[in-house]
Amino acid sequence: MSLASVTRGAGPDLVMIPGWGMHAGVFAGLADSLSSRFRVTCVDLPGHGNSAGVAWPDDVGSVADLLLAAAPPRAAWLGWSLGGLAAIAASAREADRIDRLVLLAATPRFTATGDWLCAMSADELAGFAERFERHPERTLQRFQALQFSRDVDSGRGLRRLRALLGDGEIAVPALAAALRVLLEADMRAALAACGRPVCALLGGDDPLIPACVSSALSQLLPRIRIERIEGAGHAPFITHEEVVAATIADMLQEPAAPEREE
């Protein structure tokens, strides 16, 4: 089976990939804002949204292959959270099809290790995966609340997110398999070797990605452009939609820097 997608707008192609436990509908407002300048294709991950009938593959590279099959021949790619890992994997598979990457509240590794400390602990994420397998709906609702910082807009952001998501069914096996990617995937080498312009747009108060990831990303990829939205959590496009849309549009239209001389 192929992955479901929705396309709107006209202009240079932009592929947008949502995060774990979400579907492409979460991008409705952001895609509408960008569709005046770009042809935006939002693709559901396997086991998510209208791709619920597609089994989650064994590895993130195979997820990337499914996304590439659903994407335009050449485009800029934006990945939110888990979608960012998938976008990096796609660039490693077929770099010529990807003009640039935008990592939206995303990082090449979501669990901490000795040389990558700006991430969640593996034990914390493993505990979350265990809770999801026991109580999937309750855990998913809790995860939705974790998308937002503890500011005055958190309640409004959560209501907006849940309105966009609706009452779709949960493909528990696929989401459990996708959690293993968040636990195990390490796309740092692939990101460093990407060879395409890379930008990162981060929430300044993201409860899931520590602030120190900015310096870690800069060390990994010195040419990366990083922007932070202060007061925003893990879903900045929900609470700060206009700022996010304007920043992404600027990132996508920024000329690529000249290649580094050896």
d(CA 120, CA 209): 7
Catalytic residue from among 23, 33, 205, 234: 234
Residue 252's closest CA among 75, 90, 10?
A: 75
Answer yes or no: are the C-beta atoms of 25 and 166 closer than 8 Å.
Answer: yes
Which of 33, 205, 206, 240 is catalytic? The answer is 206
- Residue 115 catalytic? no
Q: Residue 217 phi/psi, 5° resolution?
A: -65, -40
Question: Would you call 36 a catalytic residue per the annotation?
Answer: no
Can 206 be counted among the known catalytic residues? yes
Would residue 196 be called left, alpha or beta, if left means φ above 0 and alpha means ψ between -120 and 50 degrees?
Answer: beta
Q: Among candidates 66, 92, 90, which has minimal Cα distance to 77?
A: 90
Catalytic residue among 5, 33, 51, 81, which? Answer: 81
Query: In whole angstroms, how far apart are CA 211 and each of 105, 149, 207, 230, 233?
Result: 11, 13, 9, 11, 11
Q: What is the Cα 110 distance to its own chain's centre?
A: 12
CA-angle at 54, arms to 48 and 59, nearest 5°: 90
Which positions are catalytic?
A: 81, 206, 234
